[in-house]
Chain A
Amino acid sequence: MRGLLHRRQRSGQAAVLIALVLFSLIVFLALATNMGILVNDKIRMQNAADLGAYAGAYKEAQQLNALVAKNREIVDMVDSCRDAITSRPWDNDDCDCEARSDAAELYLQNCQASIDDKAQEFVGLAQWSASVAPAVAAGNVTLNTNMAGTLAAGGQIHTGTDSASRNGAYRVQGLGSTPASIANYRRAVSNFNYPVLLYCRTAVGCVPSGVVPSEETYTLQTWYYKGQDLSSPSQYRPSQEPDVWILAEARGTPVNTFLDIAFSSSGTDGGYFGASSYSGSTDEMVAVAVAKPYGGSVGPSSLSRDDAFGNIPNGPYFDGTSSQTAIGSMIPEYRARMAGFGEWSSSSVPTGRAAALNPRDAYAASTSPYASAAAKLRH
């Protein structure tokens, strides 16, 4: 009798224990499902951002290679002018007692006009609307293509320097007063010396007045090179790489979550996967990527100070050595490359000279409010 009563008092304990265990397991199952969905979304968004940035940088690299080809065409034209004037195609013309060769001057002017036409094509290719804007468009297409499957996804592409307030970001400057172009390109000038007496025969009986110079100098505007403003000799700086960075951001707000864990649809703490919205109302999941063109050179990457100011040694004939050096420095090998996260860490924002030497970090940090948050669960 006492044994039977004892068994009745102990019955039911196992059921309660099993129920508690089952409940815990179901909670873990829901958590695992929730985490799986969020991880998958984060990966999709990061892929979309990475590829969007890469596509933009790839398009930009195409534009830069086209610029290299155009610059080389300018060099070829300069060489053609040099070769032609050496052969003196106006051999039968005389100078009518003048101390200059009108025919040679006219020929050089015509050469300059042809070269300037080619230079205008170069400037057109380097315009923001012809270069960076198409790159941004290409990046957007790729980003949106790859965002399918991520709920409530939205994305946008940011590019370089569209705000004067961006501290430390690398600036895009134009040629003179033209609209912003993709790099700081300057025109190299060549002082072409041609011997007057060799090119100019005076007529019979002509007595030239004054001293006839042995040679004259014609200043020829030639190809483009990279460099900062050289209007002041004391501020000469080495030329720098193209300063276009393509930054892609993908943002999304997952709609369905089983449990409000690590990502709050109504909170503002950002959780493990995303960043707090700047409006403070809803957490967002964010992915950021940066890519750049690299591997080529539009123009000579370095020039001596004399070369930069046009005092390229030559003479009495334009010997062409400077053009050979220039074309050898024009490398049509631009490619697109993903910037590693450490290359654009937002942990510190360099300023001044450091910012100029390391523009990618300053730009990304000052452009994307989600740069640090994107470090969470970055694949």
Chain B
Amino acid sequence: MVFGLMVVLMSMVHLWQVTWGAQNANIRAREVLLHGDAYLDPGRAAYTSFNDAEIPFDISAGTYKKATPGSAAFRASAQDQTKDDIIGSQILEVTLEIRVP
């Protein structure tokens, strides 16, 4: 019975960690899409442009990109990993896209 109680409690803790990790990954992916890595630790999130030659961000005058003619489609991915517990750990990855034809 005590073991059952422990399993339930650990499940709740793990569930909370997964929820928190999902939130963090979503927020990080959105942040890197809008501001690049200006406010984030490098390595936690990454952005890519559909046009490899185009740099998504120009931070010379703020963290928002100047809207030059042509495509400005790019995506960002962010990961978060829950702490290792009795159930294990999980890697949560979120990908967001901006498409401006």
Contacts and interface: CB of A to CB of B under 8 A. Distances in A.
Are chains A and B native binding partners rather than an unrelated pairing?
yes
Interface of A: 18, 21-22, 25-26, 28-29, 32-33, 35-36, 39-40, 43-44, 47, 50-51, 54-55, 58-59, 61-62, 64-66, 134, 137-138, 141-142, 145-146, 293, 295, 333-338, 379
Interface residues of B, number: 34
Contact of B15 (A18, A32, A51, A134): A32
Contact of B67 (A29, A146, A334, A338): A334
Interface in B13-42: 15-16, 18-19, 22-23, 26-27, 29-30, 33-34
A293 B65 CA distance: 11
B21 to A, nearest CB: 10
A337 B97 CA distance: 16
B8 A26 contact: yes
B94 to A, nearest CB: 8
Contacts of B67: 58-59, 61-62, 64-65, 293, 334-336
B89 interface: no
B32 to A, nearest CB: 12
A22 B5 contact: yes
25 contacts: A22-B5, A29-B12, A29-B15, A32-B19, A36-B18, A36-B22, A40-B22, A43-B22, A43-B23, A54-B98, A55-B98, A55-B99, A58-B65, A58-B67, A58-B98, A62-B69, A62-B72, A62-B100, A64-B67, A137-B101, A141-B99, A146-B97, A295-B64, A333-B66, A336-B65
Interface in B74-101: 96-101
Contacts of B30: 47, 50-51
B1 interface: yes
A376 to B, nearest CB: 15
A62 B4 CA distance: 60
A28 B13 CA distance: 11
B11 interface: yes
A141 B23 contact: no
Contacts of B99: 55, 138, 141-142, 145
B15 A335 contact: no
A142 B5 CA distance: 45
B33 to A, nearest CB: 7
A21 B6 CA distance: 12
B98 A142 contact: yes
B9 interface: yes
A137 B99 CA distance: 10
B23 A39 contact: yes
A29 B65 CA distance: 44
B27 A337 contact: no
Contacts of B23: 39-40, 43, 379
B68 A47 contact: no
A336 B29 CA distance: 18
A335 B67 CA distance: 5
B66 A47 contact: no
B34 to A, nearest CB: 7
A280 to B, nearest CB: 31
Contacts of B22: 36, 39-40, 43
B19 A335 contact: no
A146 B30 CA distance: 11
A335 B96 contact: no
